[in-house]
Amino acid sequence: MHSVRHLIDIALKEDIGPGDITTESLIAPERSGIGTILAKEPLIIAGLDVAGQVFEQLDPNVVFKPAYQDGDAVGIGDVVAQVEGKLRALLMGERTALNFLQRLAGIATHVRSYVEALGHSKVRLVDTRKTTPGWRVLEKYAVRVGGAYNHRMGLYDGVLIKDNHVAVCGGVKKAIERIRKQMTHLLKIEVEVSELYQVKEALDAGADVIMLDNMDIHQIRAALALIGGKAAVEVSGGITQSSLKHLADTGVDIISAGALTHAARCMDLSMRIEAVN
């Protein structure tokens, strides 16, 4: 995950710049220590590898020992990981490592609660492209850690004809036909619709997946009846944890929720550092 290494690099540079003036004045370079990362609230942990890499990019001799695996539930006060190495690296990496963990664990924890709300439903809960710029790969990873699935990574690995495309293209049918000719044969064609007549157009044009955008439960049921299994059905727009189960029971195949990533709250973690020499 090359791009993650790059983001860590940027994060360390923006925090440390030309030097940590406090630490470099106070701590001799040869001193070593142990850092202990603790959860200060119950959470689903995610991003342990990233946190470890933060320290390793500062000093390749740091040893990062996770006490859990990504996806595990961690209780309040639990030790999440230990970091052994030069004190300078521990002190200079602390905040950046925690900043990664707090957000990724935040997403995993948030997603897990959605997944549990769904119970044993066969519906596939997926994320969207409403992610933090620079964090796409990481946030989509945390979604999987939480137990949900990914929609496409970006604009390059999936066809999704959105409302704005339809508007400037002259209708659902035209859009689907034009795209089918040019698309590689490995991709399905998904189209976003907000009216029932568009569902019919999409079906006639042979869409593989139909996304019902911001429809209410009655419209969704009508759309499902119309589609009758001839295309996969995704619902999207204003999904909340409480509406999830209800939606799943309609029989849709996929529920996509931007909230999985953009509405997650940062978890509270801290790091305690002790010197060993």
Q: Give the helix/strand (H/E) hosting 88.
A: helix 87-118
Query: Catalytic amino acids?
Result: 95, 130, 162, 192, 213
Smallest separation, CB 100 to its own copies (Å) = 6
- 14: its two tokens: 């923006």
Closest by CA to 266, choosing from 101, 126, 149, is 101
* Interface with its own copies: number of residues (CB under 8 A): 91
> Does 3 sit near its own copies (CB under 8 A)?
yes
Q: Distance between CA 195 and CA 199 in Å, rounded?
A: 7
Choices 73-81, 217-225, 240-248, 264-272 (CB under 8 A): range interacting with its own copies: 264-272
Q: Which of residues 107-166 bind its own copies (CB under 8 A)?
A: 124, 126, 129-137, 149-162, 164-165
Smallest separation, CB 219 to its own copies (Å) = 20
Q: Which of residues 59-118 bind its own copies (CB under 8 A)?
A: 87, 90-92, 94-96, 98-100, 102-103
Q: Give the helix/strand (H/E) hosting 21.
A: helix 21-26
Longest dimension (CA), the chain: 73
> Does 29 sit near its own copies (CB under 8 A)?
no
Q: How far is CA 53 from CA 142, 250, 261, 268, in A?
A: 16, 44, 22, 20
- From 5, 22, 65, 217, residue interacting with its own copies (rule: CB under 8 A): 22
Q: Which of residues 242-261 bind its own copies (CB under 8 A)?
A: 253-254
SS3 for 182?
helix
Smallest separation, CB 48 to its own copies (Å) = 14
Closest by CA to 101, choosing from 54, 45, 156, 139, is 45
Task: Evaluate whether 190 touches 196 at the Cβ level (below 8 Å).
Answer: no
Closer Cβ to its own copies, 156 or 218, answer by number: 156
Smallest separation, CB 12 to its own copies (Å) = 8
Closest by CA to 226, choosing from 237, 215, 238, is 215
Q: Which of residues 186-225 bind its own copies (CB under 8 A)?
A: 186-188, 190, 209
Closer Cβ to its own copies, 51 or 74, answer by number: 51
Smallest separation, CB 147 to its own copies (Å) = 13
